[in-house]
Structure 1
Amino acid sequence: MSELHPNLIEWKTGGEMQTVLSGSFEIFCRQIGNPNADSNKTVLLLHGFPESSYSYHRVIDGLRPFFDRIVLFDFLGFGLSDKPINHHYNIFEQAQIALDVWQSYGIKGGHLIAHDMGDTVANELMFLANTGIGNWFSDGFQSVTFTNGGMIIELSKLRILQKLTLNPILGPVLSKLSSYKAFKQQVNSANGNKSLVESEIEIMWSAFRSGNGKIIGHRLIQYINDRYRYQNSRWLPALKETSIPIHLCWGELDSVAPIAIAEKLNNGTCPNSHFTRMSETGHFCQLDNPEKWIESVLNFYRAD
């Protein structure tokens, strides 16, 4: 398999690099549609692990009739963004990167949609929004949609390889030994009893391993430990305290972030949220069942 999949090369031509964190790193970004669109017609997308912004490619056309502006980017260490080797990757920094990207585009607010690791970044952004992000983000988040992520870590069903990769001794070794075969098995195992299209896994692998990706996987996955450390003290309270409309949109077949997570959030942490079950849909929902994803996401906005 080539270093960078042809689909990613084409994807790259539609984007640009933005400097973040006071010039420290460059992040790959894409802005689609009208750059002057109102905040209520702007949607901001956050991808998951081990994905990239390309994971939304199957739903962008479905979003365009409803949103005039779509903004997405690759987190630090992912996709086409910089991948520093000896770096402490963490959710707080990824949240600041999101803010830096949006500020560079002059975004004052918008609807936020997140997936997997992106859910935790969105959760941190909600914590920041509760105390005030800054005057430049004056319109704030119009809504937040969480899709299939380990937002209640004790209910997550981590794969064995995920647990081993979190180990400080085994993790670096497993990252270097990672293969497409093992990656494919992990992706399909997480998705549930429904495999992803092979070509999508190939592209995901290409994006993940490009640059220094293959040797930093054990560093990128440390966001799970962030979840353990800050879930109960910071992130779940932020969901309870927010006045931002919340949509929990979950694929029912997910085997790593099961729908029990969304059920518990809906019944306790954020009882005023809108809850959508996506039938016949696994963990990688926007890739697995894009038609159901679009229907479920847009129904929330239409009902708002």
Structure 2
Amino acid sequence: MSFLTDHLVVDGVRLAYRDSGSGEPVVFLHGTPSHSYEWRDVVPHIEAAGHRVVVYDLLGYGLSERPAHRDTSVAGQTDLLGHLLDALGVEEVSLVAHDIGGAVALRFALAHPDRVRRLMIMDAVSYDSWPSPTWRRIIDEELDSHAALPQEEFDALLTRQLTTTVADTSRMSGDVLRAYLAPHTSRLGRTSFFEHQVRHYDARYTQEIAGRLGELTMPVRILWGAEDQWQPLHYAERLRDDIPGAELVVLPEAGHFLMEDAPDRVAREIRDFLAATPVS
């Protein structure tokens, strides 16, 4: 159920990715518990608008490699993004990023401002907004036992979480729900979920850059679901206030996975942002 088309070895690890279209490059970064499938209804619109679009599964996610001894934290993913751009021959890029992908994008933009033309973040983790009390308890007390859950119990746990990511729960059902669960339908997949994703839910990666957000100078737009149960709207407002010139657009009747609740609106916002902020 992936729309990725290729694999590339970057800094010694294999990433599943899609590189299509032509024109100014745009890289999409997904969140958790997710993979690049979340962009399936958005990316084609951006390609059609005349952009080269790169979308990939973060290391340890989706169809990308799940290495036993490699940093898959937000910090590790930030470093890997730079290596991916180098491998693809992309010097400057616009970033469109969701959830933990938003934290990766913010860290990358602060570390390499000369490489980021524009930045759009959606329902991103920030400041002390993560992990949720549920995930914190699992990380602190129950990680090993959860990593050993049988498939049926794991599916029930993740389904409960995923259904809270959308305002319209019917959108997280059937084939769509199965696609989000698909990377974890094996013992390796379930273990990888906790080792490569949950273990690294840690606010220090966003807290340590909170005081530097005022350094960002590229155009920034923040897109947020009004009914996000995971990342409340006041975090979006705080980001808007801390990032110079940042715009905040709030989508009504959309939750944390706003690209599931309102894919056409999300695609339009991205397309308009890219068109409305020309850069030299």
Same fold (TM over 0.5): yes
Change (3 A) 1:280 1:128: same
CA distance in 2, matches of 1:209, 1:299: 38
- Cα distance in structure 2, aligned partners of 1:109 and 1:211: 39
Asked if 1 retains the 8 angstrom alpha-carbon contact of 2:21 and 2:48, the reply is no
How many equivalent pairs are there? 272
Letter in 2 for 1:223: H
Q: Equivalents in 1 of 2:256, 2:231: separation in Å?
A: 7
**Contact preservation (8 Å) 2:123, 2:231:** yes
Which of 214, 233, 249 is the matching residue for 1:276?
A: 249
Go from structure 1 to structure 2 and tell me whether the alpha carbon gap of 1:87 and 1:303 turns closer, same or farther (over 3 Å shift): closer
Is residue 19 from structure 1 mapped to residue 9 from structure 2 by the alignment? Answer: yes
- Structure 1 stretch 105-114 or stretch 194-203: which is displaced more? 194-203
DSSP-derived class of the 1:72 partner = strand
Q: Which residue of 2 aligns with 1:176?
A: 148
Shift of 1:297: 2.1
SS in 2 for 1:253: coil
Deviations 1:31-60 (A, max 9, x none): 0113xx3xxx22110010111112100112
- Provide the identity percentage: 21
Kindly tell me: are residues 60 and 231 of structure 1, through their superposed partners in 2, closer, same or farther at Cα, counting changes over 3 Å?
A: closer
How big is the shift at 1:258?
Answer: 1.4
The CA distance in 2 between the partners of 1:159 and 1:292, in whole Å, is 31
Paired letter, 1:275: L
Pair 1:29–1:104, CA change in 2 (3 A): same
1:44 aligns with 2:17: no
In the TM superposition, residue 126 of structure 1 has moved relative to its aligned partner by 1.4
| Residue in structure 2 matched with residue 70 of structure 1 by the alignment | 53
Of 242, 250, 254, which aligns to 2:228? 254
Secondary structure of 2:164's aligned partner:
helix
Q: CA deviation at 1:261?
A: 0.8
The one-letter amino acid of 1:301's match is L
Opposite residue 176 of structure 1, the aligned amino acid is A
1:3 aligns to what? none
Aligned counterpart in structure 2 of residue 151 of structure 1, from 121, 126, 130:
126
CA displacement at 1:141 relative to structure 2: 1.2
Task: Let me know the Cα RMSD of the aligned residues.
Answer: 2.1
Partner SS, residue 189 of structure 1:
coil
Does structure 1 residue 243 correspond to structure 2 residue 226? no
Unpaired runs of 5+ residues, structure 2, are none
The equivalent residue for 2:160 is 185
How far 1:192 moved relative to its partner?
Answer: 4.5
Shift, 1:291, TM fit: 1.2
In 1, are the aligned partners of 2:28 and 2:55 still within 8 Å (CA)? yes
TM-score (norm. length: structure 1)? 0.82
AA aligned opposite 1:218:
F
State the Cα distance separating 1:148 from its structure 2 match: 0.6
Corresponding position of 1:109 = 92
What do residues 250-291 of structure 1 show as CA deviations (whole Å, max 9, x unaligned)?
A: 111110011111111112x11410111111111111122101
Match of 1:212 among 184, 188, 192: 188
CA contact (8 A) 1:29 1:72 kept: yes
Corresponding residue of 1:33: 21
Q: 1:287 to 1:190 in 2, by over 3 A?
A: closer
Measured after TM superposition, the shift of residue 69 of structure 1 is: 0.5
Report the TM-score when normalising by structure 2: 0.89
Q: Equivalent residues in 2 for 1:115-126 (5 A)? A: 115-126=98-109
Q: Please say if residues 194 and 282 of structure 1, whose CA atoms lie closer than 8 Å, have aligned partners that are also in contact.
A: no
- Cα 1:206–1:110, aligned 2, differ >3 Å: closer, same or farther? same
Aligned residue for 1:191, secondary structure, equals: coil
Deviation, 1:195, is 4.6
Q: Which 5+ residue runs of structure 1 have no aligned equivalent?
A: 1-6, 133-139
Correspondence for 1:137: none
